[in-house]
Structure 1
Amino acid sequence: MTFSPDLDLALAIADLADSIALERFRALDLKVETKPDRSPVTDADQAVERAIKALLAEKAPSDALIGEEYGSAAGTTNRTWIIDPIDGTANYLRGVPVWASLIALAIDGKPTVSVVSAPAMGRRWWAAPEIGAWTRDIDGSTRKLAVSGISDFENASISYNNLQLWDQSGRLPQLLELSRKLWRTRAYGDFWSYMLLAEGALEIVAEHDLKIYDIAALVPIVELAGGQFSDLDGSLNAASSSVLATNGKLHSATTEALRA
């Protein structure tokens, strides 16, 4: 099986998403609403997802779709596109350039092909089997991704999401205890943490309160760069909300350190 056509379609989706989201970024008339889960949504999120749905209806009409803003659409194949039109909406609406469109194709339930595109940062990442994990830098050059080889906590760096969620999960003491053993702790946030992991710039990412569309596009890039992805309490699945990604060498030790 070749995944090049699927990756080409995912990259075309990313181009479309970039064009719409960039046009509305920092717009003075940006419309912002609050969803039932109290998270923000902008007219840009909605416009991007509508455009992606229309493109997939044309190019892959038999495939299923899971989107953040408009829910799911059934398909007739073993293939599901999983879309987060703008990951980092809170950044987007405040004018912070750290946001991205997340595009993933799951086959038989496993995220297999993906693109993460952050146009305001001038960056893009993508991955597919037999192709590997790659990034395009701000100067337009491309390079293959590989996680770091660090295998001890004292030289490792972690990125996590906000401390309130760690407190609510009951694992804030474990995070603080782990932080005392690490070289560096940061909260880069959203997709950016996982892309830095895939690039070898840090070793551990752990987060809570995620949905499938927050996670799916990150998995192929991290795994095909040599890293490991799991639920904090076991195997990653469609219902996972608390996740751990590492360079692989520190996965078992970090799982144990963060165990509830």
Structure 2
Amino acid sequence: MPDQALLDDLRLAHVLADQADAITLARFKASDLQVTAKPDLTPVTDADTAVEDALRTSLSRTRPRDAVHGEERPDSGWGPRRWVIDPIDGTANFVRGVPVWATLISLMVGDEVVAGVVSAPALARRWWASKGGGAFTGRSLLQGVPCRVSGVGQIEDASLSYSSIGGWIEAGRGQQFVDLLRDCWRTRAYGDFWSYMLLAEGTVDLAAEPELALHDMAAVSIVVTEAGGRFTSLDGKDGPHGPGAIATNSLLHDEVVERLSLEAE
């Protein structure tokens, strides 16, 4: 069981998620939604920046000694405790009116994620986890159902979720990924946070993406691992530190890492 201080941090993460949900739902499908392109040509909306600004303000009051790392604003603070925020994971979906997007909130101590919340209000779903406390899904902290990964042990029986094939080609692992797709029982591009939450629930057996940042991975990684799965870089290093991510039900992990390695072709 997590200690009381960590439970307090997890409760705060839920409060922050409530705050984010109120902002994002109010702007979802808004006729006056403002969308611009960042230097990397990915979209950012006024909802993204509004959520991150609001959560940073809340953290400055409730955890003034903690550092904050977010997707849209410069890092603030310094120290071993760091909150990691992705205000809207799946901004492209948000812009197009697709309800598969979420706010990702996590707390890291050093390089380790110790608590995380993934909130997808348009789906009326939320997932959360804390170190040693397990992973759960539900509408609120008091109404959670435990998450557990699947027991599938063979690639030919596995369901794989991904975001796109293009990134794998750019990463020089395109043929390896296509071969893996062909050998799996079922493949679907659920994408973004959704792939990893389905994995944690046991309805998907493996998920992988070649290009991710810390804010994309931190919150989802602890939900996966506390549900009994593994979350590593493409090269098999545990944690949300990249490059990219491979997440599985643990049973399939070593084989998937080997098959997607640069030496596998």
Give the structure 2 partner of residue 219 of structure 1.
Answer: 221
1:40 and 1:89 in contact (8 A); partners too: yes
Task: Please report how far the alpha carbon of residue 238 of structure 1 lies from its aligned counterpart in structure 2 after TM superposition.
Answer: 6.3
- Tell me, in whole angstroms, the C-alpha distance in 2 between the residues paired with 1:256 and 1:40: 33
Contact 1:161/1:208 (8 A) holds in 2? no
Question: Take 2:31 and 2:215, find their aligned partners in 1: how far apart are those partners?
Answer: 28
Q: Does 1:171 align with 2:166?
A: no
Q: What is the distance in 2 between the residues matched to 1:56 and 1:129?
A: 21
> Which of 200, 205, 212 matches 1:210?
212
Q: Tell me the TM-score normalized by structure 1.
A: 0.96
Aligned AA for 2:94?
Y
Tell me the residue number matched to 1:197: 199
CA distance in 2, matches of 1:128, 1:134: 10
Q: Unaligned 5+ residue runs, structure 1? A: none
Query: Counterpart in 2 of 1:27?
Result: 30
Aligned counterpart, 2:261: 259
Separation of aligned partners in 2, 1:68 and 1:163 = 24
**If the length of structure 2 is used for normalisation, what is the TM-score?**
0.94
Question: Which residue pairs with 2:183 in the alignment?
Answer: 181
CA distance in 2, matches of 1:122, 1:249: 30
State whether residues 230 and 238 of structure 2, in contact with CA within 8 Å, keep that contact through their aligned partners in structure 1: no
Q: Secondary structure at the match of 1:50?
A: helix
Q: What is the match of residue 70 of structure 1? A: 73
In the TM superposition, residue 141 of structure 1 has moved relative to its aligned partner by 5.3
Structure 1 residues 54, 137: CA separation in 2 closer, same or farther (over 3 Å shift)? closer
Query: How far does the alpha carbon of each residue in 1:196-232 deviate from its partner, in whole angstroms, 9 at most, with x for none?
Result: 0000001110102211000000111000000001101
- Paired with 2:113 and 2:102, the residues of 1 have a C-alpha distance of 18
Give the match's secondary structure for 2:183: coil
Quote the Cα distance in structure 1 between the aligned partners of 2:34 and 2:182: 42
Q: Which residue of 2 aligns with 1:129?
A: 131
Assess if the C-alpha contact under 8 Å between 2:132 and 2:226 holds in 1. Answer: no
Give SS of 2:168's match: helix
Does the CA-based 8 Å contact 1:102-1:115 persist in structure 2?
A: yes
Q: Within 1, Cα distance between the matches of 2:188 and 2:9? A: 34
Q: Give the gaps of 5 or more residues in structure 2.
A: none
Separation of aligned partners in 2, 1:52 and 1:192: 22
Which residue does 1:245 correspond to in 2? 247
1:73-92 matches, cutoff 5 A: 73-75=76-78, 77-92=79-94
